[in-house]
Amino acid sequence: MPDADAATAGTVPTGRESFGSRLGQAMAGRGPLCVGIDPHPSLLRDWGLNDDAAGVERFSLTVLEAVGSLAAAVKPQVALYERHGSAGMAVLERTLAAAADAYVLTIADAKRGDIGSTMAAYADAWLRDGSPLAADAVTLSPYLGFESLRPALDLAAETGRGVFVLALTSNPEGASVQHVGGMDSVARRIVQAAAAENRRYAVSVPGNLGSVGLVVGATVGSALTDLDLDLAATFGPILAPGLGAQGATAAVLRRTFGPAYPQVLGTSSRDILAAGPHIRSLQDAARRTRDELLAT
């Protein structure tokens, strides 16, 4: 279809396949599942591992080995590495590198957001070529204003990486910010801004994914309808945490996201990770969740 912003559309640098394109291929080939790599102290204990950097590394690499061929992406929870200081961050660096070597897409769940040079530094850490923390995509918080994310948006486009912007979360406190404004809510403005960013790069064809995605909780219920949010029109991927342990099922995702369901990357962490430490058990749990997401 003709794109209203074609005259001002940006371009991804020659030779750089966009994150949205790579994620779309991974979702088509492996299924629309993202597995969180969340080394919670309780999970480490249940796996018989110490709550230290060595335990986190064993946990992370085991999850990656088990689900790498079954998930479109993996999502390390950055805070659970940070709590172990520099040793934990070194484990995260090695986990991201191992995923890249295995051709598994990574989403660093860092939820970064700031202004000016500080935001540029966050972008440099997570999205710059050659950074030891460079992931395929990073989660961002837009609550200092969507445009405050500009350094990350631009660097992601330049390097063929992606971002997932928090839009509508399922925690009870989220509504006190995200729902403000009713039909002109904060969440709606974030969704519209993400859509505009994807149009900037001429992503306006059904079936194509842009590289500016959104984080929308799998258990937000009727909020998408209540706030009149058209997620399908963003043409971006939707990271939907909450499968399994938080109560969402594949059927809930289909009902919640409706026409946007083909863009949804269903995310499960504890429900799959609890099946460890045995690789076969982790694979069975991931395969079961993936197949539920694929079922018609």
Beta bridge partners of 192: none
12: DSSP letter:
P
CB atoms within 10 A of CB 54: 13
Cα 196 versus chain centre, distance: 19
Q: Which of these is catalytic: 16, 40, 94, 111? A: 111
Residue with tokens 């796996």: 47
First to last CA, the chain: 28
**CA angle, 90 then 91 then 97, to 5°:** 90
The 3-state DSSP class for residue 138 equals: strand
Residues 159, 130: contact at Cβ < 8 Å?
A: no
Q: Which of 263, 258, 217, 206 is nearest to 237 (CA)?
A: 263
In the residue annotation, 111 being an active-site residue is answered as yes
Alpha helices in 102-145 (DSSP H): 116-127
Burial class (CB in 10 A: 0-12, 13-18, 19+), 173: exposed
CB atoms within 10 A of CB 271: 19
**What are the angstrom distances between the C-alpha of 254 and each of 144, 259, 264?**
31, 8, 9
Task: Kindly list the catalytic residues.
Answer: 111
